[in-house]
Amino acid sequence: MFGLAAGVALASAACFATGSAVQHRVVSSAADDGRSSMALVAVLARRPAWLIGLALSAVAFGLHALALGLGELTVVQPVIVSGVVFAVLIRAGLDHRLPPARTLIWLCCTWGGLALFLAVRQSGTTAAPQVGLAAAFVGAGSVLGLLLAVGARAGSGERLQGLLFGAAAGVLFGLVAGLAKVVVSQLGTERSRVLLGWPVWALIVVGACAVLLNQRSYQATRLSLTAPMLNISQVVVALLFGVLVFHESPGGSGLVLAAEVVGLGVVGLGIWKLASATPARSAERSAAGPEQRPGSAG
């Protein structure tokens, strides 16, 4: 099950990355005129490319839920963060350009760290979720996400706004992963009561907010800056969720745990360094061509 869960999670990461790259290309071409998140989504919903990206993201979520049903949250979520590697490569392909050599180096480091983590990770078991603790965790995470979003709106400069919006979306996506694991576990034991419980409704609300914040992060600055922040924050939140709520073991022996930490550290460093290894947002727009600039059709 360990290998199957990791494989399904990798497929989910690829789908989500493709959908994110397509959506970011459309959103970054939309004029940032201060419209609300809902108004922005209403405009984007009239663009077929954005809808295709959204559909791919929906497929990715389905695969993500399947992976969570097959394996531990602490295994699945680190694999999901590899989506930033796919996203950077796919976005470069959409822009008809090769990523810089420095970007390729850090992409390889990211996947290398993930490979190390999976190689030393030992298959474990997941206990039944502590629903009360899950509720407290979701409440605290939601407040943190809200504070980050408020800080982003009040901040000045596209870099700061992008980082904060990305972090806010990442926190909520981490909660979504944990809530999805809770719902999937309930489907196996109390299927008839799932729709009556709070986790499934919290999943819908938190997921919708995460998508809206993700669209804002796309509009604020370049994908290579927001995606690392989103992925780092979501995997940290998901790992904490798995350890605290599902009592998933962070590792076996001290040597194994150290190797896991090194692997995850390399992943984190790799996706963070991607932020400084790619062109500025203005260059991305120039590379996209005049038909993709603000005010044009998507």
Q: Which residue has the higher pLDDT, 143 or 189?
A: 143
Q: Is residue 39 very low, low, confident or very high in pLDDT (cuts 50, 70, 90)? A: confident
Mention every residue, 6+ apart, whose C-beta is less than 8 A from residue 167.
148, 229, 230, 233
Distance of alpha carbon 121 from the chain centroid: 22
| Orientation angle between helical segments 254-273 and 223-245, nearest 10 degrees | 160
Q: What are phi and psi of 175, to 5 degrees?
A: -65, -40
Interatomic CA distance for residues 149 and 167, integer angstroms:
8
Residue 17 CA: distances (Å) to CA of 107, 118, 159: 14, 20, 21
Distance, in Å, from the CA atom of 178 to the CA atom of 137, rounded to the nearest integer, reads 10
Q: Name which of 5, 252, 19, 14 is nearest 120 in CA terms.
A: 252
Of the listed ranges 72-81, 148-157, 218-227, the least confidently predicted one is 218-227
Higher-confidence residue: 27 or 174? 174
Give the mean pLDDT of 63-74.
88
Tell me the two tokens of residue 87. 């996203």
Q: What is the pLDDT of residue 272?
A: 77
Query: In what helix (H) or strand (E) does residue 202 lie, and over which residues does it extend?
Result: helix 198-220
Mean pLDDT over all residues of the chain?
Answer: 80
Three-class SS state of 94:
helix
**180 with 242: CB under 8 angstroms?**
no
Residue 245 or residue 195, greater confidence = 245
pLDDT of residue 18: 86
DSSP state of 122: P
pLDDT, tens digit, for every residue of 144-187?
A: 999 999 998 887 777 788 888 889 999 999 999 999 999 988 88
pLDDT in tens, 102-133: 888 888 888 899 889 888 887 766 678 888 99
Confidence (pLDDT) at 192: 66
Q: How many helices (H) and strands (E) does the chain have?
A: 12, 0
Show the tokens assigned to 222.
């370049």
* Res. 287 pLDDT band, cuts 50 70 90: very low
Which one has a higher pLDDT value, 277 or 259? 259
* Per-residue confidence band for 277, with pLDDT thresholds at 50, 70 and 90: low
State yes or no: pLDDT of 244 exceeds 70. Answer: yes
Question: Which of 27-31, 58-62, 141-145, 252-256 tops mean pLDDT?
Answer: 141-145
Indicate whether 251 pLDDT > 60: yes
Asked if 206 and 172 count as a contact pair (C-beta separation under 8 A), the reply is: yes
221 pLDDT more than 50: yes
Domain ranges of the chain: 2-292
In this structure, is the dihedral angle defined by the CA atoms of residues 159, 162, 166 and 169, taken in order, positive or negative?
A: positive
Q: What is the pLDDT of residue 110?
A: 87
What's the confidence (pLDDT) of residue 124? 66
